[in-house]
Amino acid sequence: MDRVYNFSAGPAVLPEEVLREAADEMLNYRGSGMSVMEMSHRGKIFDGIIKEAEADLRDLLNIPDNYKVLFLQGGAWTQFAAVPMNLMRNHVAAYVITGQWAKKAYQEARKYGDAIAVASSEDKTYSYIPDCSNLDIPEEADYVYICENNTIYGTKFHQLPDTKGHDLVADVSSCFLSEPVDITKYAVMYGGVQKNIGPAGVVIAIIREDLIRDDVVPGTPTMLKWKTQADNDSLFNTPPAYGIYICGKVFKWIKKMGGLQAMKERNEKNVIGDKDLEAQFVREAEAEGLVSLKGHRTVGGMRASIYNAMPYEGVEKLVAFMKDFEAKHPAE
Ligand SMILES: *Cc1c(COP(=O)(O)O)cnc(C)c1O
């Protein structure tokens, strides 16, 4: 069977040409006689791969010199702990709760200091982004935390909160590289790559240099201390080398497609909604090669995750299928 149109929320669709290129290089990476999976992460070839990946990412996001780019492991979840461990010098932080990921990050932060929920949309099942124009942020707060895009509920910050001079930390797992952003508005931006950039196992953290310090929360594991990773150019221990290699290819693909403005234009379409016919819809769609449309288990319904690598044809086919389905099952 041919490839399907995969609308999964993550791990998610990758550009087909990236996968083909990786397949071509699988057994023998550019004359090295081995796969990228098999080579030393301290060797010259991998050094070239990771440096080029970083350079392309810096280019795409226009990352200033005073920000470090770290390729880490442990999923976005591990950063839920690393963020407070590295930043809570006053042991206070302000969290905006816009969904389950923000809430989990907030609950994790409470283990390490005084995390305060300064705004929340939990009252209406996170169906909206709360007003963040005049948040009650404690003076001594070390940072303000947001989850920028919430795919489960289909919400996104279209305007960043007024942090009143405090550092902004954002989990961008589900909107990474999907539109142009101004990095200088963030102190820390991080995300797991499996939604929009590459295979699971890599987390990218972009961190303003002055925040990478030795005075972390006592007991912070060596691996979770950003300074350990920054001082070793993300090669403190064995990195997720193959994943970084694929990310590098996706960065090149995004550049070739026209960069983040082009990704934004590709992505300006979205989610569907239906009711009792959902199971039938999902079943019939699967038969047509449209897969992973079932909504998150906590909210039900349906969800089409349309990340950067989803081809237009996939969206067109989904829209056509939806119209056809609607015609066959008219609303009462
Ligand atoms: C998927 C997701 C996570 C969880 O990512 P893991 O890498 O599985 O830990 C966290 N935050 C957001 C916004 C996500 O979309």
Strands, E, within the chain: which ranges?
Answer: 5-6, 67-72, 92-97, 114-120, 144-147, 149-150, 155-156, 168-171, 188-192, 203-208, 290-291
What string of DSSP letters covers 69-91?
EEEE-SHHHHHHHHHHHHH-SSS
Confidence of residue 248 (pLDDT cuts 50, 70, 90): very high
Cβ atoms of residues 215 and 85 within 8 Å: no
* Residue of the CA atom closest to atom 4 of ligand 1: 76
Higher pLDDT, 89 or 330: 89
Give residue 328's pLDDT. 84
Shortest-distance atom of ligand 1 to CA 194 = 7
Which entry of 56, 142, 167, 195 is annotated as an active-site residue?
Answer: 195
Give residue 305's pLDDT. 83
How much distance in Å is there from the Cα of 127 to the middle of ligand 1? 18
Determine if ligand 1 sits within 6 Å of the CB of residue 167.
no
Q: Counting Cβ atoms within 10 Å, is residue 94 exposed (0-12), middle (13-18) or buried (19+)?
A: buried
245: nearest Cα among 6, 12, 9, 19: 19
Residue 303, Cα to own-chain centre: how many angstroms? 17
Which entry of 142, 167, 171, 274 is annotated as an active-site residue?
Answer: 171
- Partnered with residue 68 across adjacent β-strands are 207
User: Which residue is it, tokens 């810096």?
Assistant: 58
For residue 121, pLDDT over 80 is answered with yes
Mean pLDDT of the chain: 93
Give residue 299's pLDDT. 72
Distance CA 193, CA 307 (A): 12
Determine if ligand 1 sits within 6 Å of the CB of residue 147.
yes
Q: Tell me the three state secondary structure of residue 302.
A: strand
Shortest-distance atom of ligand 1 to CA 171 = 13
The two tokens of residue 191 are: 């995300």
How much distance in Å is there from the Cα of 76 to the middle of ligand 1? 5
- Partnered with residue 169 across adjacent β-strands are 145, 188
User: Exposed e or buried b for every residue in 279-294, given b needs 16+ CB within 10 A?
Assistant: eebbeebeeeebebbb
Shortest-distance atom of ligand 1 to CA 200 = 7
Percent of the chain with pLDDT over 90: 76
Distance CA 259, CA 150 (A): 23
Distance CA 305, CA 308 (A): 10
Determine if ligand 1 sits within 6 Å of the CB of residue 10.
yes
Give residue 1's pLDDT. 58
User: Which residue is it, tokens 């690393």?
Assistant: 82
User: Which residue is it, tokens 């030393």?
Assistant: 40
* Residue of the CA atom closest to atom 1 of ligand 1: 173
Determine if ligand 1 sits within 6 Å of the CB of residue 201.
no
Shortest-distance atom of ligand 1 to CA 149 = 13
Give residue 298's pLDDT. 72
For residue 189, pLDDT over 50 is answered with yes
Higher pLDDT, 8 or 20: 20
Tell me the best of 8, 71, 77 to mutate to test the pocket of ligand 1, counting ligand atoms within 8 Å of each CB and taking the most.
Answer: 77
* 77 annotated active-site: no
Tens-place pLDDT, residues 207-227: 999 999 999 999 999 999 999
* 101 annotated active-site: yes
User: Which residue is it, tokens 């039938």?
Assistant: 280
Give residue 101's pLDDT. 97
168: nearest Cα among 101, 239, 95: 95
How much distance in Å is there from the Cα of 75 to the middle of ligand 1? 7
How much distance in Å is there from the Cα of 216 to the middle of ligand 1? 24
Distance CA 48, CA 275 (A): 51
Which entry of 56, 68, 101, 294 is annotated as an active-site residue?
Answer: 101
Tens-place pLDDT, residues 140-181: 999 999 999 998 888 999 999 999 999 999 999 999 999 999
Give residue 268's pLDDT. 67
For residue 273, pLDDT over 50 is answered with no
How much distance in Å is there from the Cα of 326 to the middle of ligand 1? 32
* 171 annotated active-site: yes
Cβ atoms within 10 Å of 237's Cβ, excluding its own: 12
Determine if ligand 1 sits within 6 Å of the CB of residue 174.
yes
Distance CA 209, CA 68 (A): 6
Shortest-distance atom of ligand 1 to CA 147 = 13
Determine if ligand 1 sits within 6 Å of the CB of residue 71.
no
How much distance in Å is there from the Cα of 325 to the middle of ligand 1? 32
Give residue 329's pLDDT. 80
